[in-house]
């Protein structure tokens, strides 16, 4: 019989300085200054702790720590703080705090693979954090591992983006870039999601390409649209003026990517 002993150094109170630091990470300028962001909630924390990402702080209630001891032990470099629900309430950016909050280090920068023959997603000025997270989750589901964003897109480490992406950041690399320039460099078919383009059902599936999704109210900007080789539209049957940006991205992936 083999007995494994797991040693974890536990801290039992959150200092004022720690609280202040964590709360500051709701703001992009502090996230960039410290190269850190926050991931909250049991499901998302489990995803991050199971990955190879560098976890800096694990702040959780007693029950969660007890249940997740093996996962925590995978990160000996992380500071582990056991807190009460009241303490979690002080630092959460969720409406109701959810057992655990992680402080995660920004991943190291990966260059954009301009030569690979696969599918990419390009996001032009996506503003809503929920949409951005959902778009990354779609990319993750369809195995699109590089997403291009212009600088008008919401920051992917915004707490609401992290929340709705459900761990997509772990597998999908996001590049903030000049979209027009980057799209021109890719020698791939470029599909722009627009209203009033060609029926998406008239296109066949292809092994590689780029799907451009535009801003929630203004759509794709003219300069980015000019790089497109195909304008594609989901045919409408009812009365809605448009579909949500993330929903349409999901439908285009289901219809254009290899089955």
Q: What is the DSSP string of 44-83?
A: HHHHHHHSSS-EEEEEE-HHHHHHTHHHHHT-TTSEEEE-
Site mask for a second copy (CB under 8 A), range 212-231, x = bound: -----x--------------
Backbone phi, then psi, for 130, in 5-degree steps?
A: -65, -45
Q: How many CB atoms within 10 Å of residue 43? A: 12
Is 105 in a helix, a strand, or coil? strand
Q: Is 139 in the site for a second copy (CB under 8 A)?
A: yes
Least separation in angstroms between CB 184 and a second copy? 26
Give Dmax (Cα) for the chain: 69
Count the residues of the shown chain that bind a second copy, applying the rule CB under 8 A.
43
Q: How many CB atoms within 10 Å of residue 99? A: 20
Least separation in angstroms between CB 250 and a second copy? 4
Backbone phi, then psi, for 67, in 5-degree steps?
A: -70, -25
Site mask for a second copy (CB under 8 A), range 147-176, x = bound: -----------------x-xxx-xx-----
Q: Is 144 in the site for a second copy (CB under 8 A)?
A: yes
Six-digit token string for 69: 């001891």
Contacting residue, 18, 134, 150, 233, with a second copy by CB under 8 A: 134
Contacting residue, 35, 69, 89, 201, with a second copy by CB under 8 A: 201
| Site residues, a second copy (CB under 8 A) | 43, 47, 130, 134, 137-145, 164, 166-168, 170-171, 201, 217, 234-244, 246-251, 253-255, 257, 259
């Amino acid at each position: 019989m083999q007995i494994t002993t797991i040693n974890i150094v536990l801290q039992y109170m959150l200092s004022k300085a720690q609280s202040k630091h964590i709360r500051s990470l709701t703001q992009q300028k502090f996230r960039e200054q410290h190269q850190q962001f926050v991931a909250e909630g049991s499901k998302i924390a489990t995803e991050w702790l199971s990955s190879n990402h560098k976890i800096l702080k694990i702040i959780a209630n007693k029950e969660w720590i007890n249940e997740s001891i093996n996962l925590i032990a995978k990160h000996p470099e992380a500071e582990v703080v056991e807190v009460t629900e009241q303490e979690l309430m002080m630092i959460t950016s969720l409406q109701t705090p959810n057992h655990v909050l992680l402080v995660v280090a920004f991943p190291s920068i990966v260059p954009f693979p301009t030569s690979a023959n696969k599918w990419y997603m390009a996001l032009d000025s996506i503003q809503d954090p929920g949409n951005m997270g959902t778009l990354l989750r779609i990319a993750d589901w369809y195995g699109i591992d590089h997403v291009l964003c212009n600088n008008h897109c919401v920051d992917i480490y915004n707490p609401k983006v992290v929340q709705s992406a459900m761990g997509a950041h772990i597998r999908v690399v996001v590049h903030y870039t000049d979209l027009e320039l980057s799209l021109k460099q890719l020698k791939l078919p470029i599909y722009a999601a627009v209203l009033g383009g060609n029926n998406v059902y008239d296109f066949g599936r292809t092994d590689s390409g780029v799907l451009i999704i535009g801003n929630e109210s203004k759509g794709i900007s003219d300069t980015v649209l000019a790089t497109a080789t195909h304008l594609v539209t989901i045919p409408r049957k009812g009365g809605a003026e448009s579909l949500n940006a993330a929903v349409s991205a999901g439908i285009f992936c289901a219809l254009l990517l290899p089955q």
